[in-house]
Amino acid sequence: MGKIQLIIAREYLTRVKKLSFVIMTLLGPILMAALFIVPVYMTNKSQKQVKLVVVDENHYFINSFHDSKNAQFTYRSGNVDQIKREALGSGEYDAVLHILESYSGIRSNLYYYKEPPMNLRSNIENQLDKLLFDKVLQDTFQINPKKFEQIKSGTKSHVSMIQTDEHGNTKKHFAGLNRLIGIVLGFAIYIFIFMYSSQVLRSVLEEKTNRIVEVLLSSIKPIQLMFGKIVGVALVGLTQFLLWVIFTAFIIGVAMFAKPDLFTSQIPQSDIPAAMVTPGMDNDLEIFALMQEGQGFGEILETFYGISFSEIILLFLFYFIFGYLLYAALFASIGSAVDNEADSNQFTMPVTIPLILTLVMIMPIADDPNSSLAWWFSMIPFTSPVGMLVRLPSGVPLPELILSMGLMIATFVLCLWFAAKVYKTGILMYGKKITYKDLWKWLKY
């Protein structure tokens, strides 16, 4: 056991002392925090109020549009061509809205030099539809639009997604958010497993190519060397992952403390594009209401989730550790069986296909986390690190979770046995192209 500890310490300290490890440990959190902060900041910073001139041939929409943070309306009458030249040519206005004369549906043209924001068109159309609808209510049916709105708001229906367990405990779900978190977790665990497993492969190949392994095996067993290397790289991965989480949370916390309204929305509901309303997804505007009230991102998650984030973190660590150990054992055996990284491709491709396939199927799994497809991908040990993490935010029954974890541990033990057999024979073989037939023979030694 003491020799394995020495190998683990050597692998760990060799990597954490590298300049590349320090740079990535410091740079990683900055990049991850930037993924959260920069888009939000740039969106808020780049939001410009578009100034429009409205020319209405119907004389009904004059002084009727509502100004917002993103759009300000000015009204003129006269020759539209002349108004276009003056308004756009002077640079004082960004667009001219020409509402054509009509007795049924409203048709209009929006003239501009530089293309305006995407949500401007939907904002204008929503307001035009509302104003025309109010006009029809008033003129045709003699119904006061304000009274109609009171009746409409009092008869709205709303379906909340609430999950119930066998004990009667309930928790509210925001399905779109669950899917998003699941997809992010799936991508993250795929990257971590593949990145650190590849480090084991390169490390074994490097020692074999430099003949260092011959010296090491004079005082330690092959299985001890392989296991120490796998665990050492795992500790490096966990160290870097935990530092990334801590530093990222710190950077985001500092950014939110320095600018408290960074993650709050100032978008009025009338400015929310109709395109955001997608069939099959929750478009609950409560989330915008919470953001407008200044609720933090974490509070919104707790409101719509009702899920234990400590559970997500612990299960993420479990599937990362055992997913990594499983693939690292296979990668170590591949590294011991070949002489260079180019030859390793024929063996690494079949091993990584299940993980890549899960990544390809991540959207169908996220869309229906309780389907048979999602169930199988979360149970098969070679795909469950990604598949189960995608399902997890939507809720996974405890028996399924225990079964998946048990299969993962059992498969890791089996892969470790296989890797040890291959590693023991292949690590000292040079100059021969290894085939799958050779690997099968080595299992019998």
pLDDT tens-digit series, residues 21-54: 888 888 877 877 776 667 666 666 656 789 999 9
Torsion of CA 10, 16, 19, 20, to 10 degrees: 110
pLDDT at 14: 84
132-136, 157-161, 302-306, 434-438: segment of lowest average pLDDT: 302-306
Q: d(Cα 182, Cα 171) in Å, to the nearest integer? A: 17
Q: At what angle do helices 309-337 and 341-360 cross, to 10 degrees?
A: 150
**Is the pLDDT confidence value at 376 over 90?**
yes
**Is the pLDDT confidence value at 301 over 80?**
no
294-308, 365-379, 429-443: segment of lowest average pLDDT: 294-308
Query: pLDDT, tens digit, for every residue of 319-372?
Result: 988 999 999 989 888 888 887 777 777 788 888 899 889 988 999 998 888 899
Do strands 108-112 and 161-164 pair parallel, antiparallel, or not at all (unpaired)? Answer: unpaired
- In the chain, what are the domains? 3-41+173-443 (no CATH), 49-154 (3.40.190.10)
110-124, 207-221, 224-238, 411-425: segment of lowest average pLDDT: 207-221
Whose CA is closest to 127, among 166, 71, 49? 71
**Is the pLDDT confidence value at 306 over 60?**
no
Whether the Cβ atoms of residue 65 and residue 54 lie closer than 8 Å to each other: yes
Percent of the chain at pLDDT exceeding 90: 17
Confidence of residue 430 (pLDDT cuts 50, 70, 90): confident
pLDDT at 295: 45
Q: How many CA atoms lie within 13 A of 49 on its CB side?
A: 11
Computed over every residue of the chain, the mean pLDDT equals 79
pLDDT at 285: 45
pLDDT at 261: 62
**Is the pLDDT confidence value at 56 over 70?**
yes
**Angle 55-60-64 from CA coordinates, rounded to 5°:** 80
**Is the pLDDT confidence value at 382 over 90?**
yes
Pick 7 or 308 by higher pLDDT.
7
**Is the pLDDT confidence value at 272 over 60?**
no
411-434 average pLDDT score: 83
What is the Cα Rg of the chain in Å?
30
Query: pLDDT, tens digit, for every residue of 193-221?
Result: 888 888 888 888 887 877 777 777 777 88
293-317 average pLDDT score: 60
Confidence of residue 104 (pLDDT cuts 50, 70, 90): low
Q: How far from each other are the two terminal CA atoms of the chain, in whole angstroms? A: 24
300-319 average pLDDT score: 68
224-237 average pLDDT score: 85
pLDDT at 171: 64
Q: d(Cα 313, Cα 301) in Å, to the nearest integer? A: 15
Amino acid at 58: N
Whose CA is closest to 196, among 229, 222, 221, 225? 229
> Helix (H) and strand (E) counts for the chain?
17, 6
Whether the Cβ atoms of residue 177 and residue 301 lie closer than 8 Å to each other: yes
Confidence of residue 274 (pLDDT cuts 50, 70, 90): very low
Confidence of residue 94 (pLDDT cuts 50, 70, 90): very high
Q: d(Cα 419, Cα 424) in Å, to the nearest integer? A: 8
What's the whole-model pTM score? Answer: 0.65
Whether the Cβ atoms of residue 199 and residue 190 lie closer than 8 Å to each other: no
Q: d(Cα 322, Cα 327) in Å, to the nearest integer? A: 9
Pick 279 or 35 by higher pLDDT.
35
Q: Which of 27-36, 108-117, 164-173, 344-353 has the highest mean predicted lDDT (pLDDT)?
A: 108-117
Pick 437 or 285 by higher pLDDT.
437
Whose CA is closest to 216, among 230, 199, 229? 229
Dig out the tokens for 261 from the structure.
């309204």
